[in-house]
Structure 1
Amino acid sequence: MGRILEMLLASIIIGPIIGVIARLILPGKQNITVMKTIGVGIAAAFIGGVIALLFKVDSTSGIDWWQWAIQIVLGIIGVGLVSASGGKKSA
């Protein structure tokens, strides 16, 4: 339980960075708000952290490159999906 809470807090801090990196890597214009970018980044950071934990690549000496790669790939997928579904439209 403690590890999941730690990942959640880390995701809130790292998530916006993941979202911005995903938008910068994804080609073309993304029709998505800043808040949705942050939300996608937080979700990608958390889910990527869980995946890294399951595959035991979350705790390496130094920077956890595999975890970052998983999180960024998930962020790119998330930003692309939100943008394709009309990211700036409001309900």
Structure 2
Amino acid sequence: MVTITLSGIIYAIVVGLIIGALGRLFARGRQNVSILATILIGMVAAFLGTLIAGWLHVRHTEGIDWIQLIIQVALATLFVSLYAGRGGRRRARI
């Protein structure tokens, strides 16, 4: 059974913000993405990146898990680009 604590929620938000911000930093062009969307994208990218790192057996290494972090940031960059591109096309039609 998974227990959700306030500290776990705060941790997820902080990690989401950091991963999402790094994703925005590496995404090309200007992104019209809100801070809430950045946090949510970062949280999803961090979760999926951790799963992928586990499948590749690189999730638990000594020191900083650089490969896992790179996967998470790459996913965040992809998701930010897709999200920003989707919003830009929607505005262009109006």
Task: Please report the TM-score for the alignment, with normalisation by the length of structure 1.
Answer: 0.81
Runs of 4+ off more than 3 Å: 9-13
Aligned residues: 83
Aligned to 2:23: 22
Give the root-mean-square deviation of aligned CA atoms: 2.0
In percent, how many aligned pairs have the same letter? 41
Matching residue of 2:52: 51
Map 1:57-76 to 2 at 5 A: 57-76=58-77
Task: Name the counterpart of 1:33.
Answer: 34
Q: Which runs of 5+ in 2 are unaligned?
A: none
Determine the structure 2 residue equivalent to 1:80: 81
Whole-angstrom CA distance in 2 between matches of 1:56 and 1:12 = 25
After TM superposition, the score normalised by the length of structure 2 is 0.78
Larger Rg: 2
Instruction: Provide structure 1 residue ranges, at least 5 long, that are not aligned to the other structure.
Output: none
Give how far 1:71 is off.
0.2
List per-residue Cα deviations over 1:49-73 (Å, max 9, x = no partner): 0000111101000000000000000
Tell whether the 8 Å contact from 2:45 to 2:75 is kept in structure 1 after alignment: yes
